[in-house]
């Protein structure tokens, strides 16, 4: 039984920050949160040294890191990605695929299942996110256009039947068959998300009525206000703002979305409807230079420079190299968001979207002991998952 007592820290709860509070962890769960010291003689003491004590960060859209991509098709990739991102504060994640052939989707499900059984050194897996292949070709972005296609009812039913680990599927809702797919996803407890799309408001309304509830990487690879002949139409971006019930995720690296847009999304949607995501590819946590998006043998060549991945011809972004600590830091330092709400968008809100809010996402008695200690610049000092210390910064002894 793992008994830990964290003292001398600023504890970030869902409602406030407790100065010099005490946090007890017993049997991998949070046992107590107190404003004063509590006698616990048989507990191992961790001195937070006046740093912040936070719930672990939850990344619901991530492709890779540390030189690995989930599309590499190996258990090693799954395990190494989970391990590298834990060093940056990620305690739970939704491994994400790219547009690909059906065989690759089925393989991803099998690998998720097998890797999940062996994942003891990294961020926990909380469900598989399929990004594509049912996208608008005009909004392919860095997705491989060779595999983009319309929803195939037999195909997606087979994929879903292959395993119960799929928790989210990102689709362009204006495509033929996409509305019916949204109904099917919702009936199977899978989040239907809007992504890589040229939909207009009227199409988004129908999609939301039929199960779609989340906008994938808002502003990226999706329609804004468009003009068709003489008339203007609101796009997915405006639809997400207008529909209070729609959740959104944003790549808050300060590059995909600059500070004014981060502030705008926050002002309109609020922290309870925004999940911060890395959308990280294999180059996250690696030196800048050439890299590959997707499978290391067949993926797209990209260039990482100035903190972001771009297409080889520099025509567009090709993915993020962000880590979750960077997202929180960006929201606080660039977008002037209060720390407690930046943390909420990186923990409680994504947990709620993914349906794991009863066990993760906040420092609350009875929940999993997924705990971080970080300094005022969001530099991670300790990452703890289920009460087990996974990472300790070399400068924190």
Q: Strands 68-69, 90-95: parallel, antiparallel or unpaired by DSSP?
A: unpaired
Helices (H) and strands (E) counted in the chain, each on its own, are 10, 25
Q: Which residue has the tokens 């500070």?
A: 259
Active-site annotation holder among 198, 279, 325, 368: 279
Q: Residue 336 catalytic?
A: no
**Does residue 129 contact residue 168 with C-beta atoms inside 8 Å?**
yes
Strand partners, 90: 57
What are the structure tokens assigned to 34, written together? 């107190």
Cα angle 215, 219, 222; round to 5: 70
Estimate the share of the chain in helix, then strand, then coil, as percent rounded to the nearest 5. Answer: 25, 30, 40
What is the CA 270 to chain-centroid distance, rounded? 17
Q: 3-class SS at 109?
A: helix
**Does residue 131 contact residue 194 with C-beta atoms inside 8 Å?**
no
- Which residues carry out catalysis? 279
């Amino acid at each position: 039984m793992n008994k830990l007592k964290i003292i001398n820290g600023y504890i970030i709860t869902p409602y406030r920050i407790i100065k010099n509070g005490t946090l007890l962890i017993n049997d991998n769960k949070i046992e107590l949160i107190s404003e004063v010291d509590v006698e616990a003689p048989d507990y191992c003491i961790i001195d937070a040294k006046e740093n912040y004590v936070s719930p672990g960060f939850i990344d619901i859209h991530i492709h890779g890191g540390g030189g690995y991509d989930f599309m590499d098709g190996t258990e090693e990739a799954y395990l190494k990605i989970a391990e590298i991102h834990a060093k940056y504060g990620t305690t739970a994640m939704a491994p994400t695929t790219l547009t690909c052939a059906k065989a690759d989707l089925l393989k991803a499900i099998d690998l998720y299942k097998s890797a999940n059984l062996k994942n003891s050194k990294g961020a926990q897996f909380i469900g598989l996110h399929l990004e594509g292949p049912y996208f608008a070709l005009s909004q392919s972005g860095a997705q491989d256009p060779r595999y983009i296609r319309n929803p195939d009812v037999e195909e997606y039913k087979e994929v879903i039947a292959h395993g119960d680990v799929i928790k989210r599927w990102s689709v362009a809702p204006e495509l033929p068959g996409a509305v019916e797919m949204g109904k099917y996803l919702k009936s199977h407890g899978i989040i239907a998300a809007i992504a890589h799309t040229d939909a207009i408001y009227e199409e988004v309304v129908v999609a939301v009525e039929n199960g779609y509830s989340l906008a994938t990487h808002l502003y990226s690879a999706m329609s804004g206000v468009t003009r068709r002949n003489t008339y203007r139409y609101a796009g997915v971006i405006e639809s997400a703002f207008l529909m209070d019930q729609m959740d959104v995720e944003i790549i808050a690296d300060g590059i995909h979305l600059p500070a004014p847009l981060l502030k705008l999304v926050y002002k309109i949607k609020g922290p309870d409807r925004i999940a911060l995501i890395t959308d990280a590819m294999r180059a996250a946590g690696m030196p800048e230079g050439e890299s590959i998006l997707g499978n290391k043998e067949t993926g797209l060549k990209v260039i990482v420079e100035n903190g972001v991945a771009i297409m080889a011809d520099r025509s567009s972004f090709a993915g993020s190299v962000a880590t979750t600590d960077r997202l929180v830091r960006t929201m606080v330092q660039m977008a002037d968001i209060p720390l407690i709400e930046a943390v909420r968008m990186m923990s409680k809100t994504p947990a709620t979207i993914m349906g794991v809010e009863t066990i993760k996402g906040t420092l609350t008695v009875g929940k999993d002991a997924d705990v971080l200690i970080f300094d005022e610049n969001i530099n991670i000092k300790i990452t703890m998952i289920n009460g087990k210390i996974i990472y300790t910064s070399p400068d924190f002894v």
